[in-house]
Chains A and B, each alone.
Chain A
Amino acid sequence: MTGTTIAPAGPDHRAAFRPATFGDVLRSEWTKLRSVRSTFWALTVTVVLGIGLGAAISAATAHGYAKLSVSGKLSWDPTGISLAGIGIATLAIAVLGVLCISSEYSSGMIRTSLIAVPKRGRVLAAKSLVFAVVTFVVGEATSFAAFFAGQALISGHAPHAALSDPGVARAVAGAGLALTALAVLSVAAGTLLRHPAAAIAAMIAVLFILPGIAQALPDSWRNPVTEFWPTLAVGQLTTVHQSAHTLQPWPGFGVMCLFTAIVYAIAWTLLDRRDA
């Protein structure tokens, strides 16, 4: 708040007012996010799948530990197993991120929003920031809960991990961070493509289909894709043991952030220039 007020033009009885701030737009976007039911459901799915699926996979694989081969035991990754549910939960965050802007396009609300806040960059920035913070809080809570639940189910049947083990705290916290980057990418994709179905399809392609296709390619093609494809690279942040042809955790996260920044910049430019 700058404390400046503006004397209103026109009818005398109108009170002086202050310029709208970015904080006002943030409060507006928070109100938008919390006042639709899809937010509640998508976040519930994130938490339930993230923790529940992780717990189920942890329990099942721990029981099979004794039957594993030597190499299987060597690559035993209790942290990764307990976080396995988060990978599926990303879809819920991607869909919600896409919807929080593209549903404004499909309903026409975007015009109402841009009349209220004609400085369009503010709308995108506030929307992304609010959704990123919500995703960060929910994502971190989910990944830590999934980790502790998973380790509790694994212990007694197989070696389990502790937060103090090398790389484990980074991997668990990294799962929340990776979700947060994905949240921003989804909002940018929704802004860029405007149609909910198109934007959700694009996110599914980026997250699941293109990496899947890469698996069918010859090694010389597959390796660089696994290494640098943003949504695969970011996975290194949540992994304790890096395998061959992968980036280190933070460079992997960096690739995802760079990709997100590029998509975001394009979305920002188009939002500003296109007729709404």
Chain B
Amino acid sequence: MIEAHGLVKRYGSTTAVNDLSFSIRPGMVTGFLGPNGAGKTTTMRLILGLDVPTQGSVTVAGRSYRDLPAPLREVGALLDARALHGGRRAFDHLLCLARSNGIPRRRVDEVLHIAGLQGVARRRAKGLSLGMSQRLGIAAALLGDPAVLIFDEPVNGLDPDGIHWVRTLMRAQAAQGRTVLVSSHLMSEMALTADHLLVIGKGQLIADTSVDEFVRSSSRKSVHVRSPRAAELAARCRQAGATVRAGTGPDVIEITGMDSAEAGRLAAAHGIALAELTPIRASLEEAFMELTRDSVEYQAAGATR
């Protein structure tokens, strides 16, 4: 359980996090989404006590992070896989961390095994690929068998096999009743991993909702229709109050504001033959873009609507 109340973080005149309140529950994977610069990493740093909030508070397991008696036993975190001493062997890196929280040495071997790193345990950290560093960071997060896991962009640099491994691991940890918070800017990844979403933009909470609800509430639901009499159908749909746009070909139209059943009935009522009738649901990616369009910090020139 992670709870934030009115969290504010300012760096000089920049407000990175602005009045953020949320509660991240155990037993599910919570995806933390937002465009680059939205404040995801800052929020995670505030949770982990690396930064001090300008206002507000955040607690993990009911306590402020700095007051946890054995932090690694309660919270496992991966912020930056490259945040380690390059000259230290993978095994020793984990051993330093284990020692600091009184975690037995054998647990180091266990997490190396879980992360599939036994083969590189004696290798110095700078000799590890980004993917292996990422696995090492996840192994470090698992050291204390914590009830709360926090991952910042954990699939960065992983190959498809590694991505599958992280996804399965996070889902398994959540299924065991742990709290899992994972940030990403890859919506497609979240669709496969997360149960719940916390969306932020420009440091503010935009949505706190289940993944299904998030997609359903998106305004961009449409029906893709192909018909030899597309123009006629388009006119009928407009009369019925829907919006119709021209599609990719002369016989294709995109209807919004009317579901596929209704569009089909309308076509049948006027004897219009249909070659294709497909309900298009906005993907998580599109729903996200829609929601955060106004809060993208760094918008490409010409990307305005």
Contacts and interface: CB of A to CB of B under 8 A. Distances in A.
- For the complex of A and B, the 5 pairs showing the least CB-CB separation, nearest first, are A10-B147, A108-B83, A19-B69, A28-B100, A35-B92
Interface stretch (B174-182, B191-199, B265-273): B174-182
Contacts of A18: 70, 102
A17 interface: yes
Contacts of B178: 10-11
B113 interface: no
Interface stretch (A112-120, A137-145, A182-190, A252-260): A112-120
B5 interface: no
B84 A107 contact: yes
A28 B70 contact: no
Interface residues of B, number: 49
Interface string B87-122: 111001101110111100000000000000000000
A35 B70 contact: no
Nearest to B77: A115
Given A9-B61, A17-B70, A19-B69, A275 B52 contact: yes
B177 A11 contact: yes
B61 A36 contact: no
A73 interface: no
Given A11-B147, A114-B50, A6 B87 contact: no
Interface residues of A, number: 42
A31 B99 contact: yes
A16 B178 CA distance: 16
B250 interface: no
Given A20-B70, A27-B99, A31-B92, A14 B147 contact: yes
Contacts of B87: 36-38
A6 B50 CA distance: 24
Contacts of B74: 8-9
A107 B85 contact: yes
Nearest to A108: B83
